[in-house]
Amino acid sequence: MQTLSELVAAGRERDGVLFTTPERSARYSYRDFCTNVWKGGNLMRHYGVREGMAVAVVVGPKNPTDTDESGYLKDCPDGLLAILAATLDGAVANVAPDSEIDETALVAPAAWLDRYELAPGAKALAYGGPSDDPTVAGFERELWSENPLQPPGERAPDDPALQDADGTYSHGELLAASERVGTEYDIDAETTVAFRAPVTSAAAVVAGLLAPLRAGATVRFGDSTASDVAVAESDGSVPEKTVVRPGDISV
């Protein structure tokens, strides 16, 4: 396995639950999530996302409150879905975008769109909401009608896939890091991973999404219940004994 396209395709063939959250009674299966990643890639292509371009992705709740912070998962994996979808198109997903968006597209909670200024021609896709702006595409609404097939194009291990404040990382680098995390922290199909870190770095994506997805584990967010492993910035305020700190991960 050398690209994120291969990781998503393999995940689509898995049985079991990928995500759980107390905010939603229905669980997200591997098959449903990975199929929706394919749909997300096709949707982004409809709005001009292609190889060599970039997509800004802001992770957050569908309907943020005043206390919610950017980057933290709560009730939906839409931001995670958008990250992977962009990479399947050959684009780079920027998980730590500036307020001025130069990327081809921005995917973010509808309530936070006014925090960002888009360059001419850039497309905003919102989850949650809905947005009052008719130029904003409804990410969830349009996703369901998209083609549930893998987006076209061949990716290579050295193709850039993810960007954060510290740099840009290739498909191969991200997958190699996910394998190291899975091995070091014994993440397997029986593991439940609590994703408590902000999704604003490549290391957080590796530990909280890619390593569990590779192993067949279940990811829990928006829940204070103890899990087997936590992905968190520190272990001072989490109930898990085993903590993966993104700052300790080399990508």
- 197 contact partners, CB below 8 Å, separation of at least 6: 204, 207, 208, 231, 232, 233, 245, 246
- In the numeric block, which tokens belong to residue 42? 């096709």
Phi, psi of 220 (to 5 degrees): -115, 135
Prediction pTM value: 0.97
pLDDT tier at 23, thresholds 50, 70, 90: confident
- Residues 62-109 have pLDDT tens digits of 999 999 999 999 999 999 999 999 999 999 999 999 999 999 999 999
- Residues 205-229 have pLDDT tens digits of 999 999 999 999 999 998 888 999 9
Q: Does the bond joining 130 to the residue before it have cis omega, within 30 degrees of 0?
A: yes
- Residues 94-152 have pLDDT tens digits of 999 999 999 999 999 999 999 999 999 999 999 998 888 999 999 999 999 999 999 99
Domain parsing of the chain, residue ranges: 4-143, 169-248
- In the numeric block, which tokens belong to residue 98? 């500036």
Q: Looking at domain 4-143, which CATH architecture does it have? A: 3-Layer(aba) Sandwich (3.40)
